[in-house]
Amino acid sequence: MTALISVRGLHVAGRRRDGSEVGIVRDVSLEVQRGEMLALIGESGSGKTTIALSLMGYVRPGCRISGGEIEVAGYRVDQMTPDPLRNFRGKTISYVAQNAGSAFNPALTLHRQVIEPALSHWVLPRRDAERRAVDLFRAMALPHPETIGARYPHQLSGGQLQRLMAAMALITEPEVVVFDEPTTALDVTTQIEVLEAFRAVLAERGITGVYVTHDLAVVAQVADRAVVLRNGAVCESGPTSEVLERPHAPYARELVEASRLPVRAMAAAGPVPEPVLTLSDMVVGYGSVDARGLPARRILDGINLSVPRGRILGIIGESGCGKSTLVRTIAGLQASAAGTIRFRGEDLAGAVARRTPDQRRRLQIVAQNADLVLNPAWTVGAILMRVLRFFHGLRGAEARAEALRLLDLVRLPQSVFERRPPELSGGQKQRVNFARALAARPDLVLCDEITAALDPVVAAAILELLADLQATLGLSCIFITHDLHALRAVCDRVAVLLGGHVVEQCDAASLMDGVHHPYSRLLVSSVPEMRPGWLDEVTRQRQVATDAPPPPVAAGGCPFVSRCAMRIEDICDHVPPPVVPGAGGARIACHHPLADLPPLLQADGAA
């Protein structure tokens, strides 16, 4: 049987600002057999999306296919003229975009958009197309399949939109589907639902496809074969298990290692050091204020946390759980409605302007997006020297020497001193960001999603740097993340945040087994593992979850009640769950006695 997709010697060139051309994709060849799923793996800028789009005969503005042959389902895509190409797109090959939230037209109902390919290509009469759309919605496990199409994109969640987009791609029953990082923008617990839905539909229909991603664990679940790309060229290819378990190329090995971060060693046993920072009953919100001065809409509700000196407290949660608000509150950039912050034994004012210079110096932030927190008009040296002068009064040669020492500390070459942030890579910027925080000689560093914007290999290096710095300088840290791997690699203790509540606190080492809050359990079990077949196992385990409609969420109830399989009717939805102490200093907020909570059965450690 011949290949359904065959690319030989593909070159794609992009125009730079000054008009010269640069190769984005260089000499890429690949083949996909009918019914197979091929994964294109690579970091940002590796050309993976460009290759995927070129299969549809499409290149982004400013680029052009400069050589090679592309054959898809018998069509020579690189030689097609616009009209046949338009007939080919959407009918023979279709596309699932990375961010469904922006890939749907905000002014049109979803229904119109989903059946549009079928109507544009005269594949089906309107009535049949509508029926097929509803069938696909049902197959994708979307709620209210009959009526969901009448909504507008902004009325649905990201996970739902992504499934609708897959339904749109399948409505013409194309021979090939291109998935462009379809779950990257989603939370893990949503991602797994979407992956389950995709998998069910794809397996049933025998779809041939190309799946673009940077997440090796997802590759293990969906792909038969994998191609690793770097700088626009193929660096490794083969069957998925081969590529993931026995990579040959050095870069592929790095990539695999970066997704198997070593778990942080337990802190030495003994008494827990006294806390450097303590949050008590913190409430942050907006809207009308009740008699006790508490706002009606709460972003954070009754947060109690403490960071032991010299330890790293990880805070994990999905988008919208209040992580960023927590950081801003501790940093003094967001007013709280109630609660206190104690820092090194003294009360910390809510607003940064009312804190003493010494308090400000001792509490530093390393923010998520180094692009935005470093002033592009300043050189790296000036950025560091300003902090040294501001907090320590260092000037001239003294400040310069100290700044160079800091660059050394974060393992940056001294040549960076004279350069400006826009000239640096993402990883380098994040290191500068670290150096700036360290320049203040802080006691506590708030790390807010510091690896979220970085590629896996670079992120792994940054995490390593954090762990080393923490060990050598004895820093205390709060490490905010949505990534369980990163969390386990650097943290001593973990707080799980959901809907503005801390549902559980425990040691990082014990997160993967034993008894946990149902939400922690869901979170941990939703993180894909890098072995084929994991998704099937999880899917089987989950079928026991109830299908009963979730109760309306009332104030004061457990934030997980709407998704909890073991909720107690009439209690969980309005009675605040008590905090129960567990083994190893764990604290779990749940109405169930700990003995009733099912333990996580997985063996410890990343598979």
Partner 1 sequence: MSALRTCLAGAARLAPGSRRALLLLAAWFALAALGPLLAPHAPGEIVDREVFAPFSVRHWLGTDYLGRDVGSRLLWSVRYTVLISTLSTLISCCCGFVLGIATTATSVWVERVLGRLMDGLLSIPSLLFALLVIAAAGESIPALVLTMGVIYMPGAYRTSRALALRIARADYVTASLARGENRSFVILREILPNMMGPLLSDIGLRFVYAVLLLSNLSFLGLGVQPPLVDLGSLVRENVLGLAYGAPAVLVPTVVLALLTVGINLALGGQRS
Partner 2 sequence: MNRGLGRLVLGRLGASAFSLVFVIVAIFTITAALPGDVADTLLGQGATAGATAALRHAMGLDQPAWLRFWHWLDSMLHADPGRSLLTGRPVAELIGLRLYNSLLLAGATAAVSVPASLALGLACTMRQGSRFDRFVTTALLGVVSVPVFLLATVAVFVFAVQFRVAPALADINAVHSVWQFIRVFFMPVITLAGATTAQMSRMIRACMIDVFSAPWIEMAVLKGVPPVRIVLFHALPNAIGPVVNAIALSLSSLLGGVVVVETVFNYPGMAGLMVDSVAARDVPVVQCCALIFCVAYLFLTTLADVVAVASTRRGGSH
Residues of this chain that interact with partner 2 (CB under 8 A) are: 53, 56, 58, 60-62, 86-91, 94-95, 97, 99, 102-108, 116-117, 120-121, 152, 154, 168
Q: Residue 417, interface with partner 1 (CB under 8 A)?
A: no
| Dist CA 27 CA 9 (whole Å) | 4
Binding segment for partner 1 (CB under 8 A), chosen from 261-269, 304-312, 368-376, 546-554, is 368-376
**364, 367, 370, 372: CA torsion to nearest 10:** -100
Per-residue DSSP letter, 89: B
Choose between 58 and 390: whose C-beta lies nearer to partner 1: 390
Choose between 53 and 465: whose C-beta lies nearer to partner 2: 53
- Residue 78 tokens read as 């690189």
Q: Residue 562, interface with partner 1 (CB under 8 A)?
A: no
**Of residues 591, 549, 588, 555, the one with CA closest to residue 572:** 591
Phi, psi of 366 (to 5 degrees): -115, 110
Q: Residue 365, interface with partner 1 (CB under 8 A)?
A: yes
Binding segment for partner 1 (CB under 8 A), chosen from 238-246, 309-317, 377-385, 584-592, is 377-385
Question: Which spans in 6-81 are helix H?
Answer: 48-54
CB of 223 to partner 2, least distance (A): 21
- On the CB side of 512, how many CA atoms lie within 13 Å of its CA? 15
By CB under 8 A, the count of residues binding partner 1 is 23
Residues 38-67: x where in contact with partner 1 by CB under 8 A, - otherwise, as a string: ------------------------------
| Dist CA 480 CA 313 (whole Å) | 8
> Which of partner 2, partner 1, none does residue 61 bind (CB under 5 to 8 Å by kind)?
partner 2
CB of 187 to partner 1, least distance (A): 23
- Residue 251 tokens read as 């870069």
Pairing label, strands 312-316, 476-481: parallel
Choose between 90 and 350: whose C-beta lies nearer to partner 2: 90
Q: Residue 374, interface with partner 1 (CB under 8 A)?
A: yes
Residues 437-456: x where in contact with partner 1 by CB under 8 A, - otherwise, as a string: ---x----------------
Query: Is the four-CA dihedral 160, 164, 169, 171 of positive or negative sign?
Result: positive
Binding segment for partner 1 (CB under 8 A), chosen from 335-343, 350-358, 392-400, 424-432, is 350-358
Q: Residue 352, interface with partner 1 (CB under 8 A)?
A: yes
Determine the straight-line distance between the first and last CA of the chain, rounded to whole angstroms. Answer: 35
Residue 494: burial class (beta carbons within 10 Å; 0-12, 13-18, 19+): buried
Choose between 19 and 593: whose C-beta lies nearer to partner 2: 19
**Of residues 602, 607, 587, the one with CA closest to residue 512:** 602
Q: Residue 373, interface with partner 1 (CB under 8 A)?
A: yes
> Which of partner 1, partner 2, none does residue 97 bind (CB under 5 to 8 Å by kind)?
partner 2
Among 1, 107, 377, 603, binds partner 1 (CB under 8 A): 377
Where residue 344 falls (left for φ over 0; alpha for ψ -120 to 50; beta otherwise) is left
Binding segment for partner 1 (CB under 8 A), chosen from 4-12, 281-289, 386-394, 454-462, is 386-394
Asked if 478 and 490 touch (Cβ cutoff 8 Å), the reply is no
What SS3 state is found at 307?
A: strand
Please report, as ranges, the residues that interact with partner 1 according to CB under 8 A: 331-333, 352-353, 355, 357, 360, 365, 367, 369, 372-378, 382, 387, 390-391, 440
